[in-house]
């Protein structure tokens, strides 16, 4: 890597260290870091929200392994979260519309909640609202603090009569299931949830920087799928992983590479609906392409459909989240070459079938194809395109070049990461030239195309 980038990375580290010193003034984001809730606060939360205490494991003030304490942590974040007021916000962020006044989250939640209980009667749901009575399902208990707070904020909006409609895009497209909102300006449950995440990210005062990072990723990951009229606009970009795997570089609109925090874990870069992760076949770890938090905390991906790894048995060869037109698919290949799609309406993996060959590698792009897909490569180099709509395989009239580590599409260009770490622009089988925009990067260890949305700015730090 050249000297210029090395110096830049050093400046980032110094800046992040200064940010880290501010953590003592923020609320925690991990359940086990919350202090014991006082008896007085617990009584108040129970009374304000009609909590069915026994259903959450009984009254526990300190141990966050008990779900009652988790719920207390959630109410504490809602009540004590502080936001900047004034001109910042509605004029600078597409998500912030002042549907709910920033300083009224707790009082608004209280007015919209008649009771909260724990149940498992709808196992594929996270929670549901019946006339102001919230039933938190098993999915709620598995979420982070941010995810749980977002869930209760979402459910509270339903009390006022805001309902969902069938989706015209995304994972539920084509099914007569009410899962989406028509537009963001409708101000439904999805919009109220996204506005909370955006406020935390850009206006939050006393939230932990990692909680703010999680909020950015959640807002992007969910908003690009649950509105029939898009609220955010996408541009294609590229993320490259440094040869020492310590830093991820994101290509901005002005063709500048900026460095972003990278989880120090093994695995390969994968494209997701919010950006990219490092995937090790068991877990996926998020990379925030927008802003650095200043903390090295490893953040597991629960923002894209790589979160389905929690519902997947061990023994994976690959998992991919990808779009075909307006439809989003998640496909897995097991270690014994069984392939299956996730069946979203039923909340479970669909029927799997044995592939007629051993999968040596997978890719979402091949040089001879103009669009992203899901391609399976045999050890002989034979490439087959998987058709998730039908489960069929289409063998291509091309062979995979195993000197290619990655092939990605960037707008009208096909880029190839060679095994030696060079990035080439593919013109034809016999013509590959160095990619001019990668000249300052030097050699890289991994490469992936990513979507960048205008919901948040890519901050150059």
Is 135 a member of any domain?
yes
Q: Which of 185, 203, 223 is the last residue of a domain?
A: 223
Is 15 a member of any domain?
no
Identify whether the C-beta of residue 260 lies closer than 8 Å to the C-beta of residue 249: yes
Identify whether the C-beta of residue 148 lies closer than 8 Å to the C-beta of residue 139: no
Is 50 a member of any domain?
yes
- The reply to whether 41 and 93 lie within a common domain is yes
Is 313 a member of any domain?
yes
H-helix or E-strand spanning residue 43 = helix 39-49
Taking only the tens of pLDDT, the chain with its 461 residues reads 333 333 233 333 334 444 444 545 789 999 999 999 999 999 999 999 999 999 999 999 999 999 999 999 999 999 999 999 754 444 579 999 999 999 999 999 999 999 999 999 887 789 999 999 999 999 899 999 999 999 999 999 999 999 999 999 999 998 988 999 999 999 999 999 999 999 999 999 999 999 999 999 999 999 999 999 999 999 999 999 999 999 999 999 889 999 999 999 999 999 999 999 999 999 999 999 999 999 999 999 999 999 999 877 779 999 999 999 999 999 999 999 999 999 998 888 999 999 999 999 999 999 988 889 999 999 999 999 999 999 999 999 999 999 999 999 999 899 999 999 999 999 877 789 999 999 989 999 999 999 999 999 999 87
Is 228 a member of any domain?
no
Residue spans of beta strands (DSSP E) within 253-352: 257-260, 268-271, 276-279, 284-287, 316-324, 327-334, 338-343, 348-349
- The reply to whether 246 and 164 lie within a common domain is no
Q: Which of 175, 198, 223 is the last residue of a domain?
A: 223
- The reply to whether 118 and 49 lie within a common domain is yes
Q: Which of 202, 223, 244 is the last residue of a domain?
A: 223
- Going by DSSP bridges, is the β-strand pair 165-166/178-180 parallel, antiparallel, or unpaired? antiparallel
- The reply to whether 290 and 152 lie within a common domain is no
- The reply to whether 182 and 283 lie within a common domain is no
Is 195 a member of any domain?
yes
- The reply to whether 299 and 357 lie within a common domain is yes
- The reply to whether 188 and 271 lie within a common domain is no
Taking the model in full, what pTM does it have?
A: 0.91
Is 104 a member of any domain?
yes
- The reply to whether 298 and 374 lie within a common domain is yes
| Neighbour count for residue 275 (Cβ, 10 Å) | 28
Identify whether the C-beta of residue 336 lies closer than 8 Å to the C-beta of residue 342: no
Phi, psi of 376 (to 5 degrees): -110, 130
CA 350, 353, 354 angle in degrees (round to 5)? 150
Domain that holds residue 258: 234-453
Specify the CATH number for the domain of residue 354.
2.120.10
The DSSP result for 105-158, as a single string, is HHHHHHHH-SEEEE--SSTT-SEEEETTEEEE-HHHHTS-HHHHHHHHHHHHHH
- The reply to whether 219 and 246 lie within a common domain is no
- The reply to whether 212 and 276 lie within a common domain is no
Identify whether the C-beta of residue 120 lies closer than 8 Å to the C-beta of residue 58: no
Per the structure, how many domains does the chain have? 2
Is 312 a member of any domain?
yes
């Amino acid at each position: 890597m050249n000297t210029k980038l090395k110096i830049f990375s050093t400046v980032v580290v110094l800046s992040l260290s200064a940010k880290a010193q501010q953590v003592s003034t923020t609320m925690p984001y991990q359940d086990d870091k919350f202090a014991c809730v006082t008896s007085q606060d617990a009584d108040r939360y129970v009374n304000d929200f009609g909590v069915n205490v026994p259903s959450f494991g009984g009254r526990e003030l300190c141990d966050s392994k008990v779900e009652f304490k988790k719920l207390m942590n959630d109410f504490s974040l809602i009540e004590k979260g502080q936001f900047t007021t004034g001109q910042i916000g509605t004029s600078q962020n597409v998500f912030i519309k002042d549907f709910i006044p920033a300083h009224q989250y707790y009082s608004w939640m209280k007015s919209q909640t008649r009771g909260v209980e724990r149940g498992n009667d709808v196992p594929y749901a996270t929670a549901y609202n019946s006339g102001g009575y919230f039933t938190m399902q098993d999915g709620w208990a598995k979420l982070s603090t941010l995810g749980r707070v977002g869930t209760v904020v979402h459910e509270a909006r339903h009390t006022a009569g805001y309902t969902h409609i069938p989706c015209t895009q995304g994972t539920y497209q084509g099914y007569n299931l009410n899962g989406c909102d028509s537009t963001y300006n409708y101000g439904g449950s999805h919009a109220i949830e996204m506005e909370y995440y955006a406020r935390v990210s850009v206006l939050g005062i006393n939230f932990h920087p990692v909680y703010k990072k999680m909020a950015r990723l959640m807002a992007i990951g969910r908003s690009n799928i649950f509105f029939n009229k898009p609220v955010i606009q996408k541009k294609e970009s590229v993320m490259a992983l440094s040869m020492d795997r310590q830093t991820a570089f994101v290509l901005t609109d002005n063709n500048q590479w900026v460095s972003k925090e990278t989880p120090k874990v093994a695995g390969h870069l994968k494209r997701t609906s919010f950006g990219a992760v490092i995937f090790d076949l068991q877990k996926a770890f998020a990379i925030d392409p927008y802003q650095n938090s200043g903390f090295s905390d490893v953040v597991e991906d629960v923002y894209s459909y790589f979160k389905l790894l929690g519902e997947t048995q061990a023994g994976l060869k690959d998992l991919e989240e990808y779009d075909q037109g307006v439809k989003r698919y998640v496909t897995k290949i097991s270690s014994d070459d069984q392939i299956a799609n996730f069946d979203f309406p039923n909340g479970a993996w669909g029927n799997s079938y044995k592939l007629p060959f051993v999968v040596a590698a997978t890719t979402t792009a091949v040089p001879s194809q103009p669009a992203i897909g899901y391609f399976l490569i045999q050890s002989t180099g034979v490439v087959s395109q998987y058709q998730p709509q039908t489960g069929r395989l289409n063998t291509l009239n091309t062979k995979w070049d195993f000197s290619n580590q990655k092939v990605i599409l960037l707008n009208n260009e096909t880029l190839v990461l060679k095994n030696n770490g060079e990035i080439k622009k593919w013109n034809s089988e016999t013509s590959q030239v160095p990619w001019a925009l990668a000249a300052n990067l030097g050699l890289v260890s991994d490469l992936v195309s990513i979507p960048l949305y205008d919901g948040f700015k890519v901050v150059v730090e």
